Structure 1
């Protein structure tokens, strides 16, 4: 069973994912430039492009459009564009984004979009069928949770020192179990893409992560944890809800993102062309720096988190009549905390990127 059902639907994720757009745009030019030497299929055969973890589609369509524009400088061949996400994803919104006037005639000539339901940690395309694959802000989600429980915090990433709260912690043993599971996930991801991509095919992997200075988890997880514990202390949630809740994301370092180089016994299926960790711009942080409006910043920040965390939080609550009110309350409390203490919940988006070629 997947660790999440996906992002919040109904257009909410699209409306609150400018941070993710900025992070993917740090590395999208790598793939655009790589189209200059992509091996093209034989005349009459289509080019196949797969985006993994497409969510509601606005960001994915932006990325795929940039790649197609580069391809069109070389070829007029037909192009399959496959948009993949979990079967529980809001594919209705994705198709609304693909066809904004709700008619098939809005399709650009020679571009054939399709949706694929499946986990990016598994095969979702036939063997040696793809020329290009991309994934943005998705491979950090864990395929499932390890058996090791986290009772004193909601993430394997420890709380930030500046946001430390008495009674929260992550032990080395807990961290090790999640690290091993995350390693198995990334191996499964690369095995699947190695099977699907043709020799010479290009793979761009971008995801939130950490560097030597900052962890993208800090602020996000601290805010979610504090809001939940506030509700526990006020009797709005039971303690076991907190102790059984795990936010199923692993924030990798750049070395943890890259495929094995062969020394571990794994075959070397990819050449790493480029790889970097960058701190990227965060639109709501930039607006806060300009305006000084902490309330607006807090609301945007909480909305950004809600867009990807609400389905996970909802699944951790008992299905009681007041569940919708509890969900709204959590994010309202989070926004209030952000507004009251921006420094405690300071947010840095560390974006990891790797451009690879199938050998």
Structure 2
């Protein structure tokens, strides 16, 4: 909770400047968000509607889903000649998130709402809720719609047992599951994800009203092999760090003992945990392939480059690297990601790289668990 956060501010290495891929992921889930919100409103429009965006981070994406959700609710009310409900918006992320960046944009956000929606639009109350979504965050039965994008592939912690006292690290020289990692490493990651995802579902079940909807988008995989697909990003970063360790620029033992708190599950793993936890019915569960070769900026498409990928990865993992390696790594951070960019360029010149996105739409059943 104290280590994982995206790079703050609005500088060249900030998450705000390097979150185009996350914006694309949000756009993939847009039709499922609309369907889920309309599903919430299909029988009745409540006086007060609770919406939460979990793992909202900061920057231009932080309010985009909320704005979209408000537009859907308002349009539905106009069609029904009904007054809009009060909308309670909760923006959640870990306490170390750059909430100040979000709050500074709220006056303009509220101003635009008043202009766009007019006199028939009731108040929208926006709150920041710091804390881990792997536990309770909100009062019981207070939420109607929950959204989370590009967040649930981050684990609550590094899987235990990967670095035993007195023995060599089980995943020596690797930052994540690799094709050369022992089978027990992949099993430890899978088990940690199962525990975390079950806690996430149980917590949301207690906080949501019956028939409330939830749309989750996260990195996933099609293959049964957890070292496939987007794992190559971690593989290349480990190679860049090991090359620097061979020159004495970073400690090799620190590279060996670093394990990313990340896991990209398969659709079958997601389905299994949702079924086992039992609080939600699956309305939709699908995986999408998102090519690394191009990314969208409006109507323009610009070829992906190693530099662009390196900036995106740095904006996400720099805080973890600094925490693990110590402040000294900041001196060589630019050099690390320069080398990483070159490795990514070389990889992209020979491979069709891709991300697999898992999109899950859920409906809260009756009788939530008490947490």
TM interval, short-chain normalised: 0.7 to 0.9
Match of 1:20 in 2: 22
Match of 2:81 in 1: none
Match of 1:229 in 2: 242
Cα deviation code 1:179-220 (max 9, x no counterpart): 111100000010011011100100001101111399443331
Bigger mean CA offset, 341-350 vs 270-279? 341-350
Q: Provide the C-alpha distance between the structure 1 equivalents of 2:72 and 2:302, rounded to a whole number of angstroms.
A: 37
Q: By how many angstroms is 1:278 displaced?
A: 0.4
Question: In the alignment, does 2:169 pair up with 1:152?
Answer: no
Match of 2:198 in 1: 187
Match of 1:201 in 2: 212
Q: Provide the C-alpha distance between the structure 1 equivalents of 2:272 and 2:135, rounded to a whole number of angstroms.
A: 16
Report the RMSD for the aligned CA atoms in angstroms: 2.7
Match of 1:5 in 2: 4
Q: 1:9, 1:90 within 8 Å by CA — same for their partners in 2?
A: yes
Match of 2:312 in 1: 304
Question: In the alignment, does 2:342 pair up with 1:342?
Answer: no
Q: 2:220, 2:357 within 8 Å by CA — same for their partners in 1?
A: yes
Match of 2:283 in 1: 273
Bigger mean CA offset, 31-40 vs 76-85? 31-40
Cα deviation code 1:215-242 (max 9, x no counterpart): 4433311221111011011111111110
Question: In the alignment, does 2:62 pair up with 1:49?
Answer: no
Q: Provide the C-alpha distance between the structure 2 equivalents of 1:235 and 1:338, rounded to a whole number of angstroms.
A: 23
Seen in structure 2, the aligned counterparts of structure 1 residues 194 and 43 have a Cα distance that, compared at 3 Å, is: closer
1:7-156 residue pairs with structure 2 within 5 A? 7-11=6-10, 12-39=14-41, 45-75=47-77, 76-100=84-108, 105=111, 108=114, 110-149=123-162, 150-156=170-176
Q: 2:55, 2:94 within 8 Å by CA — same for their partners in 1?
A: yes
Seen in structure 2, the aligned counterparts of structure 1 residues 208 and 310 have a Cα distance that, compared at 3 Å, is: same
1:328 to 334, 343, 346: 334
1:205-220 residue pairs with structure 2 within 5 A? 205-212=216-223, 215-220=228-233
TM-score in terms of structure 1 length = 0.86
Q: Provide the C-alpha distance between the structure 1 equivalents of 2:229 and 2:139, rounded to a whole number of angstroms.
A: 34
> Matched residue pairs, number?
338
Question: In the alignment, does 2:181 pair up with 1:170?
Answer: yes
Seen in structure 2, the aligned counterparts of structure 1 residues 183 and 270 have a Cα distance that, compared at 3 Å, is: same
Cα deviation code 1:267-303 (max 9, x no counterpart): x21111111000125475679xx777xxx71111111
Seen in structure 2, the aligned counterparts of structure 1 residues 303 and 319 have a Cα distance that, compared at 3 Å, is: closer
Contiguous gaps of at least 5 residues in structure 2:
78-83, 115-120, 163-169, 366-371
Q: Provide the C-alpha distance between the structure 2 equivalents of 1:210 and 1:120, rounded to a whole number of angstroms.
A: 22
Q: Provide the C-alpha distance between the structure 2 equivalents of 1:77 and 1:341, rounded to a whole number of angstroms.
A: 51
1:354 to 350, 354, 360: 360
Contiguous gaps of at least 5 residues in structure 1:
160-168
Q: By how many angstroms is 1:156 displaced?
A: 4.0
